Structure 1
Amino acid sequence: MSAHQYDEGHTVAGWTGFAVATAGSVVLGLGVVMVSALVVAGGLAVVAGSVLVTWVLHLSGWGKAPGRRPREQWGWRTRDLSAREGHPGCVGCRLAGRGRGRVRESGVVVTAVPSAPAAAETSR
Protein backbone atom coordinates (compact mmCIF):
# COMPACT_ATOMS: atom_id res chain seq x y z
CA MET A 1 0.00 0.00 0.00
CA SER A 2 1.41 3.35 -0.98
CA ALA A 3 1.49 6.35 1.31
CA HIS A 4 0.04 8.46 -1.51
CA GLN A 5 -3.33 6.74 -1.47
CA TYR A 6 -4.41 8.77 1.55
CA ASP A 7 -2.52 12.00 0.95
CA GLU A 8 -5.19 14.34 2.26
CA GLY A 9 -4.00 17.93 2.13
CA HIS A 10 -1.15 17.26 -0.28
CA THR A 11 -2.71 19.46 -2.95
CA VAL A 12 -2.24 22.94 -4.33
CA ALA A 13 -5.16 24.09 -2.16
CA GLY A 14 -3.69 22.48 0.96
CA TRP A 15 -0.16 23.81 0.52
CA THR A 16 -1.33 27.31 -0.42
CA GLY A 17 -3.64 27.45 2.59
CA PHE A 18 -0.80 26.24 4.80
CA ALA A 19 1.56 28.93 3.47
CA VAL A 20 -0.98 31.73 4.01
CA ALA A 21 -1.82 30.43 7.51
CA THR A 22 1.88 30.28 8.37
CA ALA A 23 2.35 33.88 7.25
CA GLY A 24 -0.67 34.87 9.35
CA SER A 25 0.78 33.06 12.36
CA VAL A 26 4.05 34.94 11.95
CA VAL A 27 2.18 38.27 11.86
CA LEU A 28 0.13 37.17 14.87
CA GLY A 29 3.31 36.29 16.79
CA LEU A 30 4.86 39.64 15.90
CA GLY A 31 1.75 41.35 17.18
CA VAL A 32 2.03 39.53 20.50
CA VAL A 33 5.73 40.42 20.83
CA MET A 34 5.08 44.04 19.85
CA VAL A 35 2.01 44.20 22.14
CA SER A 36 -0.01 45.63 19.27
CA ALA A 37 -3.69 44.78 19.06
CA LEU A 38 -3.78 46.07 15.48
CA VAL A 39 -1.03 43.68 14.33
CA VAL A 40 -2.66 40.78 16.22
CA ALA A 41 -5.95 41.55 14.48
CA GLY A 42 -4.15 41.66 11.13
CA GLY A 43 -2.57 38.26 11.81
CA LEU A 44 -5.95 36.80 12.73
CA ALA A 45 -7.41 38.23 9.53
CA VAL A 46 -4.67 36.59 7.45
CA VAL A 47 -5.24 33.24 9.19
CA ALA A 48 -8.99 33.52 8.52
CA GLY A 49 -8.20 34.44 4.92
CA SER A 50 -6.18 31.22 4.58
CA VAL A 51 -9.36 29.23 5.18
CA LEU A 52 -11.15 31.13 2.40
CA VAL A 53 -8.19 30.76 0.01
CA THR A 54 -8.06 27.01 0.62
CA TRP A 55 -11.83 26.66 0.16
CA VAL A 56 -11.89 28.61 -3.11
CA LEU A 57 -8.97 26.61 -4.51
CA HIS A 58 -10.64 23.35 -3.44
CA LEU A 59 -13.88 24.31 -5.18
CA SER A 60 -11.99 25.26 -8.34
CA GLY A 61 -10.50 21.77 -8.54
CA TRP A 62 -7.12 22.20 -6.86
CA GLY A 63 -8.18 20.19 -3.80
CA LYS A 64 -9.07 16.51 -3.75
CA ALA A 65 -11.68 14.36 -2.11
CA PRO A 66 -10.61 12.30 0.91
CA GLY A 67 -9.92 8.61 0.40
CA ARG A 68 -8.30 6.46 -2.26
CA ARG A 69 -7.62 7.77 -5.74
CA PRO A 70 -6.36 6.13 -8.92
CA ARG A 71 -2.59 6.20 -9.49
CA GLU A 72 -2.82 8.93 -12.17
CA GLN A 73 -4.30 11.31 -9.57
CA TRP A 74 -1.59 10.83 -6.93
CA GLY A 75 0.40 13.92 -7.90
CA TRP A 76 -0.27 16.96 -5.72
CA ARG A 77 -0.47 19.25 -8.78
CA THR A 78 -3.17 17.14 -10.44
CA ARG A 79 -6.40 19.05 -10.88
CA ASP A 80 -9.59 17.29 -9.76
CA LEU A 81 -12.11 17.61 -12.57
CA SER A 82 -14.94 16.08 -10.48
CA ALA A 83 -14.97 19.03 -8.04
CA ARG A 84 -17.80 20.75 -9.93
CA GLU A 85 -20.24 18.02 -8.86
CA GLY A 86 -18.93 18.00 -5.29
CA HIS A 87 -17.05 15.36 -3.36
CA PRO A 88 -19.08 12.87 -1.30
CA GLY A 89 -18.69 13.57 2.41
CA CYS A 90 -16.81 16.85 1.83
CA VAL A 91 -17.85 19.65 4.20
CA GLY A 92 -16.41 22.35 1.91
CA CYS A 93 -18.42 21.09 -1.05
CA ARG A 94 -21.57 20.84 1.07
CA LEU A 95 -21.13 24.45 2.24
CA ALA A 96 -20.92 25.50 -1.41
CA GLY A 97 -24.13 23.58 -2.22
CA ARG A 98 -22.38 20.84 -4.17
CA GLY A 99 -22.71 17.09 -3.79
CA ARG A 100 -26.18 17.08 -2.28
CA GLY A 101 -27.74 14.80 -4.88
CA ARG A 102 -27.75 11.03 -5.03
CA VAL A 103 -27.21 9.17 -8.28
CA ARG A 104 -29.71 6.40 -8.93
CA GLU A 105 -28.84 3.29 -10.92
CA SER A 106 -30.38 4.88 -14.00
CA GLY A 107 -27.86 7.73 -13.80
CA VAL A 108 -30.46 10.35 -12.83
CA VAL A 109 -29.39 12.73 -10.07
CA VAL A 110 -32.02 13.12 -7.36
CA THR A 111 -31.68 16.16 -5.12
CA ALA A 112 -33.06 16.25 -1.61
CA VAL A 113 -35.36 19.24 -1.14
CA PRO A 114 -36.56 19.90 2.40
CA SER A 115 -40.31 20.17 2.60
CA ALA A 116 -41.74 23.38 4.02
CA PRO A 117 -44.78 23.22 6.31
CA ALA A 118 -47.94 23.97 4.45
CA ALA A 119 -49.26 27.40 5.44
CA ALA A 120 -52.84 26.45 4.54
CA GLU A 121 -52.89 23.53 6.95
CA THR A 122 -51.64 25.54 9.91
CA SER A 123 -54.11 28.39 9.42
CA ARG A 124 -57.25 26.21 9.72
Structure 2
Amino acid sequence: MSQYDEGHTVAGWTGCAIATVGAAVAGTGICLVSAAWIAGGLAIGVVSVLVTWALHLTGWGKGPGPRPRDQWGMRVRDASAWGGHAQCWGCRLAGRGRRGPAAAAREVAPAVGGGEPVPEQPAVPVR
Protein backbone atom coordinates (compact mmCIF):
# COMPACT_ATOMS: atom_id res chain seq x y z
CA MET A 1 0.00 0.00 0.00
CA SER A 2 1.25 3.47 -0.85
CA GLN A 3 2.00 6.15 1.71
CA TYR A 4 -0.12 8.52 -0.37
CA ASP A 5 -3.37 6.56 -0.24
CA GLU A 6 -5.62 9.63 -0.10
CA GLY A 7 -9.25 8.77 -0.60
CA HIS A 8 -8.91 5.25 0.77
CA THR A 9 -10.89 6.26 3.85
CA VAL A 10 -14.38 5.93 5.23
CA ALA A 11 -15.00 9.58 4.29
CA GLY A 12 -13.74 9.05 0.74
CA TRP A 13 -15.74 5.91 0.03
CA THR A 14 -18.93 7.26 1.64
CA GLY A 15 -18.71 10.51 -0.30
CA CYS A 16 -18.05 8.63 -3.52
CA ALA A 17 -21.05 6.34 -2.98
CA ILE A 18 -23.40 9.26 -2.27
CA ALA A 19 -22.06 11.20 -5.27
CA THR A 20 -22.60 8.15 -7.49
CA VAL A 21 -26.24 8.02 -6.43
CA GLY A 22 -26.55 11.75 -7.12
CA ALA A 23 -25.04 11.35 -10.60
CA ALA A 24 -27.43 8.48 -11.34
CA VAL A 25 -30.44 10.56 -10.24
CA ALA A 26 -29.28 13.55 -12.31
CA GLY A 27 -28.62 11.29 -15.31
CA THR A 28 -32.10 9.80 -14.97
CA GLY A 29 -33.44 13.36 -14.88
CA ILE A 30 -31.65 14.14 -18.13
CA CYS A 31 -33.12 11.05 -19.78
CA LEU A 32 -36.61 11.87 -18.48
CA VAL A 33 -36.19 15.58 -19.29
CA SER A 34 -37.20 16.36 -15.70
CA ALA A 35 -35.82 19.43 -13.99
CA ALA A 36 -36.92 18.05 -10.62
CA TRP A 37 -34.83 14.88 -11.02
CA ILE A 38 -31.83 16.88 -12.25
CA ALA A 39 -32.11 19.28 -9.30
CA GLY A 40 -32.49 16.32 -6.94
CA GLY A 41 -29.34 14.71 -8.32
CA LEU A 42 -27.40 17.94 -7.94
CA ALA A 43 -28.71 18.32 -4.38
CA ILE A 44 -27.53 14.79 -3.58
CA GLY A 45 -24.11 15.78 -4.98
CA VAL A 46 -23.97 18.74 -2.59
CA VAL A 47 -24.95 16.42 0.28
CA SER A 48 -22.08 14.08 -0.67
CA VAL A 49 -19.59 16.95 -0.35
CA LEU A 50 -20.97 17.96 3.05
CA VAL A 51 -21.01 14.38 4.37
CA THR A 52 -17.45 13.79 3.20
CA TRP A 53 -16.30 17.04 4.82
CA ALA A 54 -18.04 16.20 8.12
CA LEU A 55 -16.51 12.71 8.18
CA HIS A 56 -13.08 14.16 7.40
CA LEU A 57 -13.34 16.63 10.27
CA THR A 58 -14.33 13.86 12.71
CA GLY A 59 -11.24 11.84 11.80
CA TRP A 60 -12.58 9.41 9.20
CA GLY A 61 -10.72 11.15 6.37
CA LYS A 62 -6.99 11.65 6.15
CA GLY A 63 -5.05 14.80 5.29
CA PRO A 64 -2.67 15.14 2.35
CA GLY A 65 0.85 13.74 2.46
CA PRO A 66 2.53 10.64 3.82
CA ARG A 67 1.31 9.00 7.02
CA PRO A 68 2.90 6.58 9.46
CA ARG A 69 2.43 2.90 8.60
CA ASP A 70 0.09 2.32 11.56
CA GLN A 71 -2.39 4.81 10.03
CA TRP A 72 -2.54 3.24 6.55
CA GLY A 73 -5.65 1.18 7.26
CA MET A 74 -9.02 2.45 6.08
CA ARG A 75 -10.69 1.82 9.43
CA VAL A 76 -8.15 3.83 11.43
CA ARG A 77 -9.32 7.26 12.59
CA ASP A 78 -6.93 10.14 12.07
CA ALA A 79 -5.91 11.46 15.49
CA SER A 80 -4.58 14.72 14.02
CA ALA A 81 -7.94 15.72 12.52
CA TRP A 82 -9.01 17.74 15.55
CA GLY A 83 -6.01 20.04 15.21
CA GLY A 84 -6.35 20.29 11.44
CA HIS A 85 -4.04 19.23 8.64
CA ALA A 86 -1.42 21.69 7.46
CA GLN A 87 -2.30 21.76 3.74
CA CYS A 88 -5.96 20.72 3.86
CA TRP A 89 -8.61 23.02 2.39
CA GLY A 90 -11.37 21.25 4.31
CA CYS A 91 -9.62 21.88 7.62
CA ARG A 92 -8.94 25.50 6.70
CA LEU A 93 -12.59 26.06 5.81
CA ALA A 94 -13.52 24.70 9.23
CA GLY A 95 -11.02 27.02 10.94
CA ARG A 96 -8.52 24.29 11.72
CA GLY A 97 -4.93 23.76 10.69
CA ARG A 98 -2.12 26.23 10.36
CA ARG A 99 -3.25 29.80 10.03
CA GLY A 100 -0.11 31.72 9.29
CA PRO A 101 3.11 32.92 10.92
CA ALA A 102 1.43 35.56 13.14
CA ALA A 103 -1.08 33.10 14.63
CA ALA A 104 1.55 30.39 15.01
CA ALA A 105 3.88 32.77 16.86
CA ARG A 106 1.18 33.45 19.47
CA GLU A 107 0.57 29.77 20.13
CA VAL A 108 3.06 27.75 22.13
CA ALA A 109 3.30 24.04 22.68
CA PRO A 110 3.09 22.69 26.24
CA ALA A 111 6.37 22.42 28.07
CA VAL A 112 8.13 19.07 27.91
CA GLY A 113 10.01 17.97 31.00
CA GLY A 114 9.22 21.12 32.96
CA GLY A 115 11.24 23.46 30.74
CA GLU A 116 10.19 26.55 28.88
CA PRO A 117 7.38 26.23 26.29
CA VAL A 118 8.59 25.75 22.74
CA PRO A 119 6.85 27.80 20.03
CA GLU A 120 5.25 25.86 17.18
CA GLN A 121 6.79 25.81 13.73
CA PRO A 122 5.60 28.73 11.55
CA ALA A 123 3.27 27.78 8.71
CA VAL A 124 4.66 27.52 5.21
CA PRO A 125 2.58 29.59 2.79
CA VAL A 126 0.89 27.54 0.07
CA ARG A 127 1.27 28.97 -3.41
Give the TM-score range, shorter chain.
Answer: 0.7 to 0.9
Corresponding residue for residue 45 of structure 2: 47
Deviations 1:65-86 (A, max 9, x none): 1111111100011100110100
Corresponding residue for residue 89 of structure 2: 91
Corresponding residue for residue 66 of structure 2: 68
Separation of aligned partners in 1, 2:119 and 2:78: 22
Corresponding residue for residue 22 of structure 1: 20
Q: Amino acid of the residue matched to residue 6 of structure 1?
A: Y
Amino-acid identity (%)? 61
Does the C-alpha gap of structure 1 residues 32 and 96 become closer, same or farther in structure 2, counting only changes over 3 Å? same
Deviations 1:21-65 (A, max 9, x none): 000000001000111000000000001110000000000000011
Q: Which blocks of at least 5 consecutive residues in structure 2 are unaligned? A: 110-116
* SS of residue paired to 2:73: coil
Aligned residues: 110
Corresponding residue for residue 10 of structure 1: 8
Larger radius of gyration: 1
Does the C-alpha gap of structure 1 residues 36 and 15 become closer, same or farther in structure 2, counting only changes over 3 Å? same
Q: CA deviation at 1:19?
A: 0.2
Q: CA deviation at 1:107?
A: 3.7
CA RMSD of aligned residues (A): 2.2
Q: TM-score, normalised by structure 1?
A: 0.81
Q: Which blocks of at least 5 consecutive residues in structure 1 are unaligned? A: 113-124
Q: Which runs of 4+ in 1 moved over 2 A?
A: 100-112
Match of 2:77 among 76, 79, 90: 79
Most deviating of 80-89 and 93-102: 93-102
